[in-house]
Each structure stands twice: as structure tokens, then as C-alpha cells.
């Protein structure tokens, strides 16, 4: 079967760095997505990785290792507004997105 695993909840301190991990087992691979979802709102796109390595976009970076079926989202200089759920999703061989359950990130002052 297809499976995406990510931690249910994480807590971090304002100004710090946090890494949210995602491991996957899917039928084929056409890229990995990270989305941010604030409570009660729609998911919004953060990043897309299809090749191994690190993609940096401001305070957010996303890493992919296809051989290990592993990705992480790195958030630096955390701000209170970063409190949200972070969703990992993999596009399989049929170009369908398989979604993880999401990681709820709580930022404390």
C-alpha cells in the first residue's frame, strides 16, 4: 500500500529552528510537496522537490532523498505566525497526490 508518515505534533520556540520529517512509500514518485494549513483555512503551497537535495526559499527549506523515501521541511527563525499544520504529499506514478495526516506545529514565545 501507499503510506506517508509524519509526526502528529511538534512544539518549538519563537526564533528557533524546527525540522519536520516525512517518510513515504508510494507506487512511483513524481515529486513531493509541502503545504501549510492554518487552522480553519485552506492548505497553501510551500515547496516541491523532485530531485534529491535541498531547496531553499527564504526561511523555509525542503530536502529530499528519493533513495531513502525521506523528506524534511526546515523552518528557521520561527515566528508565531508559523503555528500551523504542515502537510507532506507525494505524487505517485499516476500523478495522484498521496497525503500525510499533517504535523501540527505549535510555536511558544
Partner 1 sequence: DVKVTQSSRYLVKRTGEKVFLECVQDMDHENMFWYRQDPGLGLRLIYFSYDVKMKEKGDIPEGYSVSREKKERFSLILESASTNQTSMYLCASSLESGPTYEQYFGPGTRLTVT
Q: Please, what is the minimum distance in Å from the beta carbon of residue 15 to partner 1?
A: 30
Q: Which is nearer to partner 1, 17 or 101 (CB)?
A: 101
Q: Show the cell assigned to 102.
A: 499533517
Q: Please, what is the minimum distance in Å from the beta carbon of residue 97 to partner 1?
A: 7
Instruction: List residues near partner 1 by CB under 8 A.
Output: 4, 8, 30-31, 33, 40-45, 48, 87, 89, 91, 95-102
Q: Please, what is the minimum distance in Å from the beta carbon of residue 8 to partner 1?
A: 8
Q: What is the 3-state secondary structure (H, E, C) of the chain?
A: CCEEECCCEEEEECCCCEEEEEEEECCCCCCEEEEEECCCCCCEEEEEECCCEEEEECCEEEEEECCCCEEEEEECCCCHHHCEEEEEEEECCCCCEEECCCEEEEEEC
Q: Please, what is the minimum distance in Å from the beta carbon of residue 63 to partner 1?
A: 17
Q: Which is nearer to partner 1, 54 or 101 (CB)?
A: 101
Q: Which is nearer to partner 1, 75 or 89 (CB)?
A: 89
Q: Which is nearer to partner 1, 17 or 106 (CB)?
A: 106
Pairing of strands 97-99, 44-49: unpaired
Amino acid at each position: 500500500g501507499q503510506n506517508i508518515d509524519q509526526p502528529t505534533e511538534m512544539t518549538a520556540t519563537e526564533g528557533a529552528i524546527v525540522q519536520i520529517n516525512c517518510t513515504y512509500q508510494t507506487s512511483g514518485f513524481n515529486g513531493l510537496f509541502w503545504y501549510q494549513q492554518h487552522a480553519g483555512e485552506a492548505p497553501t503551497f510551500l515547496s516541491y522537490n523532485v530531485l534529491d537535495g535541498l531547496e531553499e526559499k527564504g526561511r523555509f527549506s525542503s530536502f529530499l532523498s528519493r533513495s531513502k523515501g525521506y523528506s524534511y521541511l526546515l523552518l528557521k527563525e520561527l515566528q508565531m505566525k508559523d503555528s500551523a499544520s504542515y502537510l507532506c504529499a507525494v505524487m505517485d506514478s499516476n500523478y495522484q497526490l498521496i497525503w500525510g495526516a499533517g504535523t501540527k506545529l505549535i510555536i511558544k514565545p
